[in-house]
C-alpha cells in the first residue's frame, strides 16, 4: 500500500507540474484594428474577416472599441495589455461606439494560429520566473536529434511580441524569422510578462521581474538534450543588447552578440537621446542648450536619480508639460519603476567581466544609441585584455533593423529598406563563435 501511495503521489506531482505549465492561447480578433492614437480613446475596426466571431456577434467595420472586459481603451498602452490579455475560448465582453450609439456584445474569440516553419520543429513551452509568473517560451530547432548550437534571444524594452505569426511583418520580425530558419541552430525566445500567452501585465512589469524571466528561460534551454551546452550564443537587441553580457556571465555562454547597445547609465542615455531629438527637430543650438538645462536635465534627474514619477514631477513643474514626451507613469510603455531599476543596473560592469567572444553592431542611422557608447565598450574590452571582440558600424542601418538615408527618415518612421546581410551577419557571427 505504501508503494502504491508513493507512486500515486509521484504521478500526481508530475501531472500537477505539467498542468501548471500549460498557458492558455491568446485570442485573435480576426480583424484589422487601428491602435489608439493617444489623442482620442478607442481602437477603430478597419476590416473584419468573413466568418469571424467578431462579425457573427454583430460588430461592424467602423466600430470604435472603447472597452474590453471592463477595461477602457484610453491609449496604446491599454490596447497593448488588452490584446495580449484576451484568451481564446473564453467569453470576452466588448463595448464599441458606433456613431452616437454604444453597443456591447459578449463574444468567444478563436485562438491565434501558432508560429510555423516548414523546415523546423517548433515548440511552445513555458517557464515560471522566481516572481511566480508563467511566461511563454518559443523554441525552434532544425530537424533531427542534434545536439545543435543555440541562440538565446533577448529583445528590446517594448511590450511587443517576439512571435512570428501569419500576417505580422516588419524588419525586426524578419530578422527573427531568418535567425530561426537560416541559422541551422536552435533559437530560443521568451515572451515578457503580459505579452503573447504570458501571464502578467507588461505595462506594470519592472526590470528585475523581466530579468527573472530571461534567467528561467535560459535554465530551460540548458536542460534540453538537443542543445550543445558549451555552444549557446546570447543575442541581444536594443535593451536586450545591454543585458546580453549579464546573461552570458550568469550562464557561461559561448559568446555575446550585441545589436544596437548602450554602455552608460540610463540617465546619461536619456539626456543624449533628448539632445539628438531636439537636433532632428531643427532646434537651434541656443534652444537645445536652454531646453536641456531648464527642462530635460531636471526631469530625468528627478525621475531616475530621485526615483519619482513623471506625474509628481509635472505637477510640481507645470512648465515641463509642454516639452515632456512620455506619460505620467510610463515611458515607452514601461512603468517608471522599470527605469528606476535600469538606472541602478551597472551594464558597464557586466561588459568589464565578459570573457567570451563579443560581436557588436551599431547602425550609423541609429538615433537611439550613440556611437560613443559602442566605442567605449571596445575600449574597455581592450583595456581588460579581452581576446576576441569586434565592432561593426553598419552603414545607414537604424535601430529597427532598417536601412534609411538619414536619421530623420528613421525618426519619422518612413518605410526604409531591408538587406539580407542584416540577419546573415548575426548568423555568421554566431557560427564564428561556436566554431
Output 219-225 pairs: Cβ under 8 A, ≥24 positions apart. 219/127, 220/125, 220/127, 220/137, 220/188, 221/139, 221/150, 221/152, 221/186, 221/188, 222/251, 224/139, 224/186, 225/146, 225/147
Q: What is the CATH number of domain 27-111?
A: 2.30.42.10
Side-chain half-sphere exposure of 84, counting CA atoms within 13 A:
26
- Residues 45 and 60 sit within 8 Å (Cβ to Cβ): yes
237 grid coordinates: 537587441
Per-residue pLDDT tens digits for 196-249: 999 999 999 999 999 999 999 999 999 999 999 999 999 999 999 999 999 999
C-alpha cell at 269: 542615455
Give the CB-side neighbour count of residue 350, counting CA atoms within 13 A. 23
What is the C-alpha separation between 78 and 357, in angstroms, rounded? 41
pLDDT for 259 beyond 90: yes
pLDDT at residue 115, rounded to an integer: 92
pLDDT computed for residue 167 by the predictor: 73
Mean pLDDT value of segment 303-325: 95
Whether residue 16 is predicted with pLDDT greater than 70 in this model: the reply is: no
Q: What is the DSSP letter of 259?
A: E
> Does position 6 have pLDDT exceeding 70, yes or no?
no
pLDDT at 1 over 70: no
CA distances from 280 to 342, 358, 368, 411 (A): 26, 32, 12, 8
pLDDT of 4 strictly over 50: no
pLDDT at 20 over 70: no
Inter-CA distances, 92 with 29, 65, 109, Å:
11, 13, 8
Helix (H) or strand (E) holding 312: helix 310-316
pLDDT at 295: 97
- Among residues of the chain, what percentage have pLDDT more than 70? 95
State the pLDDT at residue 345.
98
Cβ burial, residue 379 (10 Å; 0-12/13-18/19+): exposed
Flag whether pLDDT at 18 surpasses 80: no
- For residue 17, pLDDT beyond 70: no
For residue 14, the model assigns a pLDDT of 37
Contact by Cβ (8 Å): 43, 81: no
CA 311/CA 308 separation, integer angstroms: 8
Beta strands (DSSP E) in 49-207 are 64-68, 71-72, 91-98, 101-108, 110-111, 120-128, 134-142, 148-154, 186-190
Tell me if 108 sits within 8 A of 47, measured CB to CB. no
Whole-number mean pLDDT of the chain?
92
* % of the chain surpassing 90 pLDDT: 87
DSSP β-bridge partners for residue 236: 154, 258
CB atoms within 10 A of CB 178: 17
- Sketch the domain layout of the chain as residue ranges: 27-111, 120-259+346-434, 266-343
Average pLDDT, stretch 269-289? 96
Residue 187 CA to residue 190 CA, distance in Å, equals 10
For residues 175 and 169, what is the distance between their CA atoms, to the nearest angstrom? 10
Cα–Cα distance measured from residue 320 to residue 301, given in angstroms and rounded to the nearest whole number: 13
Helix (H/G/I), strand (E/B), else coil: 73: coil
pLDDT reported for residue 7: 37
Confidence at 346, pLDDT banded by 50, 70, 90: very high
- pLDDT greater than 60 at residue 19: no
Q: Which residues, at least 6 apart from 42, have a Cβ–Cβ distance to it below 8 Å?
A: 36, 64, 65, 66, 73, 97
Higher model confidence: residue 135 or residue 89? 135
* 5, pLDDT greater than 70: no
Eight-class DSSP state of 26: B
CATH of domain 120-259+346-434: 3.40.50.1820
Amino acid at each position: 500500500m505504501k508503494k502504491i501511495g508513493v507512486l500515486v503521489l509521484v504521478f500526481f506531482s508530475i501531472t500537477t507540474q505539467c498542468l501548471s505549465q500549460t498557458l492558455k492561447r491568446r485570442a485573435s480578433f480576426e480583424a484589422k484594428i487601428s491602435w489608439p492614437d493617444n489623442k482620442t480613446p478607442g481602437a477603430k475596426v478597419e476590416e473584419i474577416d468573413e466568418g469571424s466571431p467578431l462579425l457573427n456577434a454583430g460588430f461592424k467595420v467602423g466600430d470604435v472599441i472603447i472597452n474590453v472586459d471592463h477595461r477602457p481603451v484610453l491609449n496604446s498602452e491599454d490596447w497593448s495589455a488588452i490584446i495580449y490579455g484576451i484568451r481564446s475560448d473564453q467569453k470576452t465582453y466588448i463595448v464599441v461606439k458606433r456613431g452616437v450609439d454604444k453597443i456591447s456584445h459578449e463574444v468567444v474569440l478563436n485562438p491565434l494560429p501558432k508560429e510555423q516553419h516548414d523546415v523546423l520543429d517548433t515548440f511552445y513551452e513555458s517557464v515560471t520566473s522566481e516572481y511566480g509568473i508563467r511566461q511563454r517560451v518559443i523554441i525552434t530547432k532544425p530537424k533531427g536529434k542534434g545536439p545543435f548550437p543555440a541562440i538565446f534571444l533577448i529583445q528590446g524594452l517594448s511590450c511587443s511580441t517576439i512571435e512570428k505569426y501569419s500576417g505580422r511583418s516588419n524588419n525586426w520580425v524578419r530578422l527573427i524569422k531568418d535567425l530561426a530558419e537560416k541559422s541551422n541552430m536552435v533559437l530560443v525566445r521568451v515572451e515578457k510578462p503580459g505579452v503573447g500567452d504570458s501571464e502578467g501585465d507588461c505595462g506594470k512589469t519592472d526590470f528585475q521581474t523581466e530579468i527573472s524571466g530571461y534567467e528561467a528561460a535560459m535554465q530551460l534551454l540548458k536542460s534540453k538534450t538537443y542543445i550543445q551546452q558549451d555552444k549557446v550564443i546570447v543575442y541581444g537587441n536594443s535593451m536586450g543588447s545591454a543585458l546580453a553580457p549579464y546573461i552570458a556571465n550568469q550562464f557561461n555562454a559561448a559568446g555575446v552578440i550585441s545589436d544596437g547597445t548602450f554602455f552608460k547609465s540610463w540617465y546619461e542615455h536619456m539626456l543624449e537621446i533628448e539632445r539628438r531629438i531636439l537636433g532632428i527637430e531643427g532646434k537651434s543650438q541656443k534652444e537645445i542648450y536652454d531646453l536641456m538645462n531648464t527642462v530635460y536635465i531636471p526631469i530625468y534627474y528627478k525621475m531616475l536619480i530621485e526615483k519619482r514619477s513623471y506625474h509628481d514631477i509635472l505637477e510640481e513643474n507645470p512648465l515641463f508639460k509642454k516639452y515632456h514626451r512620455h506619460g505620467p507613469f510610463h515611458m515607452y510603455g514601461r512603468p517608471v519603476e522599470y527605469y528606476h531599476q535600469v538606472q541602478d543596473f551597472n551594464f558597464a560592469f557586466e561588459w568589464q567581466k565578459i570573457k567570451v567572444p563579443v560581436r557588436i553592431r551599431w547602425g550609423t542611422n541609429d538615433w537611439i544609441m550613440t556611437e560613443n557608447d559602442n566605442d567605449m565598450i571596445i575600449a574597455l574590452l581592450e583595456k581588460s585584455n579581452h581576446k576576441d571582440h569586434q565592432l561593426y558600424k553598419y552603414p545607414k542601418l537604424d535601430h529597427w533593423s532598417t536601412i534609411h538615408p538619414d536619421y530623420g527618415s528613421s525618426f519619422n518612421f518612413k518605410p526604409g529598406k531591408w538587406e539580407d546581410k542584416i540577419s546573415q551577419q548575426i548568423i555568421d557571427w554566431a557560427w564564428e563563435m561556436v566554431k
